[in-house]
Amino acid sequence: MVFHDTFQHYEVPCNARIAEKTARLAISYINEDRTEGYKLSLNRINRVFGSHQGAAGKVYYLDLDVLETKCYIRSALPWEDCDIRPFVETKVSGTCRAIVHIKPDVSAITCGYNCSLAPDAKENITSICPECLTFITPDSRESMKAVNLTLNKFNKESDESRYFAAAKVIRALSSTLTQPGQDYHVEFTIEETDCIKGRDGIGRSCTFKSPETARTGFCVGDVYIKDGADVEASCELYDPKGPNDAPQGMRDCDSPEGEEAAAVAVDYINAHHAHGYKYALNRIEKLRVLPTGPSSERVILELDLLETKCHVLNPLPLENCTVRELTGHAVEGDCDVKLLRKDGKLSVLAAHCHSSPDSAEDIIKICPDCALLIPLNDTQVVKAVELLLDQYHSTNDVYFTLVEIARAQMQAPNTIIVEFAISATNCSSKDASEHAEACQALSGDQTTFGFCVGSVMHVPNENIHVECEVYAPQPDVVHPVLAKDTVGLLSVPVHGFSHHNLRHSHSSHFNDSSESNSAEVSVACTLSPKLVVKRTVSEPEHPGGVLDPLHPGCPGRALCSQAFSTPVKELQSPFLFPACNDSAVESAVDVALGQINTGRTEGYVLRLNRIFSVLEHPQETSGSVFYLILDVAETECHVLSRRLWKNCKTRPQHKTVFGQCRTTLYINNPKRIAHLHSYECTLRPVPTRSILMLCPDCPIFGCPTEPKYLETAVVSLAKFNSESTEAHYFSVLNVTKASMQWVVGPAYFVEFTIQETSCSRNESIADISKCKPLPFEKAHTGFCKGSVVNSQVDHHQFVNIDCEIYEPQVPAIEKQKETDSHKPGHGGDGSHEDPHHPRRKGAHPHQKHQHRHKQHEEKHPSPTEAKSPVEYIDGNPVLPEVGMPVPDLPDIHGAPDGEKILTEGPGGKLGLIKPKTGPVFLSFPDELSHSDMCPGEPTTSNSFILNLLPRKHIKESPTATPLS
């Protein structure tokens, strides 16, 4: 199948929201269109290309990796709920190429697809699992015997009035080992015959009923034949399917039952969303109803939601809330919800939601001057909220505490717009100015919340404006932030994102989560009583040759149209596309990776595998913002070691953990500024199947939280404590990696961090686990690799341990003072202790270099005490502005363009400062580099690792054919 049209193509990142959504739509369509075989499940998105079709919308070309499930194609289960066929059952996998047309009204049509599937090779299965069953010919004598035995058992035990006969054998497997008996596994379809049980004898020749009236089915049989036959049979039956029937369970999205279920789902989602804003129903994308009992049924919904302007603490009913405009950098949500209707009453069983802002690039095209979302924990945002709260308290008697920063936008050049929630305390503004730490948020019947919108303009003159609405007391509301008894500006978001993500995934409750990404805007629209809105334009004519939607009535209608008439400006891309092997790019990557590793407090030092893509956004003043996509892999160094990534050993092939980091970095060489604005890394281990194929005897990854691995860490650490010369005993802090292998018995391997305790080695301690850890700023920490082998040959336990011990860490502000005191011109003698030279097991606890500072030791910052602004990714603190001192650079104290910062740069030779104002940070762009020199050359020559790296993307070209 060749993808082509007359429009220019552009590549879409595989992890973009639209890519994931169109991939799911394509897989759903493929499963509904196929008439034989099994349902397919999405394994991975390989490549996605888009094409603007003018008024007809957009067309997406997808290249997908798929896996065969255990669900027969006519099963009522959605493909997302089907079990993947495991390796030991001869897995079938392949690729599907699909074309999806997204019309301006956001309805989707799959225009065509082509799938190629193949089972795993027999020799690959038997080499790993000799006892596993493998394929045999479906119409062979052995498979037909197993089918007949299975079918006879079903006909004998079922309550059906007629006999069923086998129609087609789909899968047949048997054991390959020589053994007394023989195992068979068969899967086949059946059809209803005209033979009636009790009337027609077994010897009568039965014929199939007509397709219009015959029931069909799918059977699975496991047969063990030795002296006799042991048979297990399981069949599911399907009613006759008319020529115009929709797939089983599909309903009209605009039906009353769909709107009723959607209303219950939206109420539930808003009730369990503790941060940010309420969401309104945009449209029902899919509705499926499956019977589960005599008086019960399961309702499955796919919903599109839109963020409103009502904060979750706002008591205003949802139907009175206004949806955020597109030009306000709007946020949209997608939710999959499962409900149970029992005796007419609906209840939510599970829900999974995700939200994301509209593309900043799309907003710029419509409204170049509109404010765009920026990270909620940006230093400028936090300072703006402080100023606005102070401004509000100057004219109000009651002192309010910050609950959360809900939204932040920047309007060029220097205006910050913020929205934040507040809660009343028991203090007056005057009392709080002297003793704010004693103020407590009002609770019980006096609980009072408010919501503020304000702006701070710094140029040409500082201009502050804030308006707050205080709600009536809400005695039944307990916000999770206030439940911690925190008062004051303590609620800075613990992430580096720009909105509170509507992410929920649960079986009986929601796991609340707040994240962020970017922001957006449009024309206001008040919700109708049905709470359904949609930004849309008039229906265009769709391109010729596209297929009609498979399900009439889905997606549902939009009740509130928001046509946007502002003329669209065709703007050139704001980015430059430097080569990935450019020296300036390599230096920027070195700085970014150094700051990422310096700021992380958990996990392992990351090394560069390859520069995948780089976009450069020149700034109006000076300098550039780089948007980097880096292929990375874990090294053997823990982040506590503070080693440079280039000085760390790579992990063996079977232990490789790899992935990508998306990094936003501001570089201004003339002013010596380097600021890591944000980053997000996604890592995963080498697939177990790949390890087994490469090294069948290698250790297999285990779960570090399992008790057996914690016990391994404790046992191996006991050996270290008994042999070391440290002043105090150490206790296990965190098990970071775990694996298991069978040697002469079960062998367990662990990597873990340790912390110094208050128990002296001079004391006799029976249970070290009861020793209290020393304060973090005084405690030595360490990183250990241990193993315990329980021999089943001589019934002996072998214990090994190897540890590195690191000096205590101090707050960043103290480190800054110590560094300043030793800069040229500050009285230091220029000598230092190497902070990256840890002591190994057996080293003397006070071992130093021969050259020493006067009353100075280089220490690593404590993330709990660092005074610099903290950014968070995935719940982990990120301290990009903490690094190693550089005594050989000119003094940059009092630099007018930023606060002083010492940052580890290339080779540890670059001292830089963080900007206070100036650079414009966009949400991370979907666009990839157009340079022919991107991706860059890998840093590893290992073919096994190279095969795991993402594929090289195809450059945008007016005459290119993206896929063939």
According to the model, what pLDDT value does residue 265 have?
94
In a domain, residue 149? The reply is yes
* Per-residue confidence band for 353, with pLDDT thresholds at 50, 70 and 90: confident
Domain co-membership, 297 together with 352? yes
> Residue 919 falls within a domain, yes or no?
no
Distance of alpha carbon 394 from alpha carbon 400, whole angstroms = 12
Give the mean pLDDT of 936-940. 85
Q: What local confidence, expressed as pLDDT, does residue 784 receive?
A: 95
Higher pLDDT, 154 or 917: 154
CB under 8 Å to 860, separation ≥6 — which residues?
640, 642, 806, 807, 809, 810, 815, 835
Instruction: Say whether both 349 and 376 belong to one domain.
Output: no
Q: Among 232-241, 481-490, 500-509, 723-732, which is the least confidently predicted range?
A: 481-490
Mean pLDDT calculated for residue range 722-748: 88
Residue appearing with tokens 């999405």: 42
Per the model's pLDDT, the better-predicted residue between 482 and 63 turns out to be: 63
Higher-scoring residue by pLDDT: 733, 864: 733
Q: What percent of the chain is predicted at pLDDT more than 90?
A: 29
Residues 588 and 651 in one domain: yes
Task: Give the per-residue pLDDT at 530.
Answer: 35
Could you tell me the residue range of the domain that residue 179 belongs to? 133-238
817 domain-assigned: no
CA-wise closest residue to 521 among 316, 373, 320, 310: 373
Least confident of 440-454, 519-533, 642-656: 519-533
Cα separation, 855 vs 584, whole angstroms: 39
Higher pLDDT, 314 or 477: 314
pLDDT band at 421 (very low <50, low <70, confident <90, very high): very high
Answer for the pair 543, 99: CB distance below 8 angstroms, yes or no.
Answer: no
Domain of residue 148, CATH code: 3.10.450.10
Would residue 694 count as lying in a domain? Answer: no
Query: In the prediction, which pLDDT does 310 show?
Result: 94
Q: Is residue 610 part of a domain?
A: yes
The span from the CA of 276 to the CA of 294, in Å, is 41
399 and 329 belong to one structural domain? no
- Residue 768 phi/psi, 5-degree rounding, is -65, -25
Is 852 inside a domain boundary? no
Quickly state the pLDDT bin for 836 (edges 50, 70, 90): very low
Task: For 269, list phi and psi in degrees, rounded to 5.
Answer: -60, -45
583: phi then psi, degrees, rounded to nearest 5:
-60, -35
Q: Is the domain of 383 the same as that of 470?
A: yes
Tell me, what's the pLDDT at 764?
79
What secondary structure, in 3-state letters, does 72-94 show? ECCCCCCHHHCCECCHHHCCEEE
CB 278 within 8 A of CB 290: no
Of 291, 288, 298, 300, which is closest to residue 340 (Cα–Cα)? 298
Rounded-to-integer distance, Cα 664 and Cα 578, Å: 15
For residue 842, pLDDT over 60 is answered with no
Share of the chain above pLDDT 70, in %: 72
For residue 893, the model assigns a pLDDT of: 28
What is the arithmetic mean of pLDDT over 739-754?
89
d(CA 261, CA 194): 41
- Per-residue model confidence as pLDDT tens digits over 399-411: 999 999 999 998 8
Could you report the per-residue pLDDT of 886-918, keeping only the tens digit for each?
222 222 222 333 322 233 333 333 334 444 456
Average pLDDT on 598-613 reads 90
Mean pLDDT of the region 876-891: 30
503 found inside a domain: no
Residue after which a domain boundary falls, among 479, 504, 535: 479
- In a shared domain, residues 28 and 47: yes
Most confident of 62-71, 527-536, 905-914: 62-71
Q: What is the pLDDT of residue 264?
A: 95
pLDDT at 92: 92
Per-residue pLDDT of 263-281, as tens digits, reads 999 999 998 888 899 999 9
Q: Which residue has the higher pLDDT, 880 or 464?
A: 464
Average pLDDT, the chain: 75
Residues 548, 514: Cα–Cα separation, whole Å: 39
- Alpha helices by DSSP H, listed for 724-852, are 812-820
Residue 476: predicted pLDDT: 64
- Residue 695's pLDDT is 72
> Could you give the CA distance from residue 962 to residue 359 in angstroms, rounded to a whole number?
23
d(CA 194, CA 164): 9
Single out the residue in 449, 479, 509 at which a domain terminates: 479
The arithmetic mean of pLDDT across residues 125-142, rounded, is 86
Look at the chain and report how many structural domains it folds into: 6
pLDDT of residue 76: 83
pLDDT at 146: 92
Same domain, 85 and 160: no
Q: What is the pLDDT of residue 692?
A: 66
pLDDT band at 655; cut points 50, 70, 90: confident
pLDDT for residue 520: 29
pLDDT of residue 560: 44
Report the run of H or E that residue 284 belongs to, with start and end.
strand 277-293
Banded pLDDT at 170 (limits 50, 70, 90): very high
Q: What is the mean pLDDT of residues 90-100?
A: 91
How many other CB atoms are there within 10 angstroms of residue 635's CB atom? 22
What is the rounded average pLDDT of the residues 637-649?
A: 91
Judgement on whether residues 158 and 116 belong to the same structural domain of the protein: no
**115, 196: one domain:** no
Name the domain boundary from 362, 390, 411.
362
Instruction: Kindly state whether residues 722 and 638 are assigned to the same domain.
Output: no
Looking at residue 7, its pLDDT comes to: 52
Note the pLDDT of residue 248.
61
Distance between CA atoms of 964 and 960, rounded to whole angstroms?
11
pLDDT at 651 over 90: no
What pLDDT is attached to residue 509? 39
**pLDDT band at 859, cuts 50/70/90?**
very low
Residues 18 and 114 in one domain: yes
Identify the residue with better confidence: 540 or 176: 176
Query: Is 154 within 8 Å of 235 (Cβ atoms)?
Result: yes
Q: Do 104 and 41 fall within a single domain?
A: yes
pLDDT band at 755 (very low <50, low <70, confident <90, very high): very high
In this prediction, residues 93-104 reach a mean pLDDT of: 88
In a domain, 843, yes or no: no
